[in-house]
Structure 1
Amino acid sequence: MEKKYNTSFSYAGYSAQSSLEKEHMRAFPTSGDKETDSFTITKTDAGYEDDYINVAANAIYVAYVCDGIKTILPDTEIKVFAEITKTSLVEVPTVDTDLQGKVESSLWVFIDGATFSGQDLTEFKANFNDYLTEHQLYGMAQLVLLNDGKIAYPTKYNYTDYLSEEHYAVRETLYVNK
């Protein structure tokens, strides 16, 4: 792994083979975060397979999605979190155009209710769908219009807490398929 990606990794856990899953270990970049940057290494007949590329591409992917949203909603505060669920990337991307047609993900787009209204969500949803489709970024996106004053609180560690009804005014799901 370290030779393959020119990065040092740390051990995060191990699961023995069972009837439900193959033997695998969890690792994370030593310079990363064990909780959010962990990935799986699975032993196969041909050697080892890993899904580190999903973790490594995540930051550039989120930045790319944020840039797209900012063209649609230039004056709205947002926070975007993503989990790349499938990719055909063979190396860590260096530019965002490397992502087009090669990534599927789950996205969570939090929108500040103080600077955006629920009436505008339908139009944003359509425009965001067009952006994702045009850039061949597939998967599921949850659009969450947070209550006023809540946008400051979601982080990569706790954003799922803000998916409960007490924190948002509107929550919609968007699917973009190939």
Structure 2
Amino acid sequence: MSRIGKLPITIPENVDVNYNEKEITVKGKFGTLTTNLPDVIDIRQEDEILKVGLKQETKKVRALHGLYRTLINNMIIGVSEQFDLTLVLKGVGYRAVVQGNEIVLSLGYSHPVKIAIPEEISVEVVKNTTVNLKSCDKELLGLFASNIRSWREPEPYKGKGILYKDEQIIRKAGKSAK
């Protein structure tokens, strides 16, 4: 059995969890999340504790045990507290602006980069170079941050690019003169 899958999930007071054999729905202060469950995952609720179990024991099923326990836990944390990510634009002339439902990035290209913001994510730009992202869906938040970052990944020579907060770029030495 998975060690992570065995851990119980505590449900906060303001979170409502509904489940059947095919899907689980979590409602909270910041939104509603739903995910499909495989047939081999069994969920039991005792008071304010949720336990994820297995209906059969095979190697593939044991691999899903910890995964779905973590996914359900992330759903509960997301709807009660929200997840947040901070991106830092590092480079001369790099800046970001939110216009309507899209974020416009100036990243040194000949044109501004426009990226549509999903409804579930809130974006806030601080001092033109820091972008704060918040969402109750951790998977969607990471995917959106990765999409923004893919336009200018950090490079090792000057350290320019779009970095996650507190990310350290290992710098390389440039060409050495002879």
TM-score w.r.t. structure 1 length? Answer: 0.31
Larger Rg computed on CA atoms: 2
TM-score w.r.t. structure 2 length? Answer: 0.31
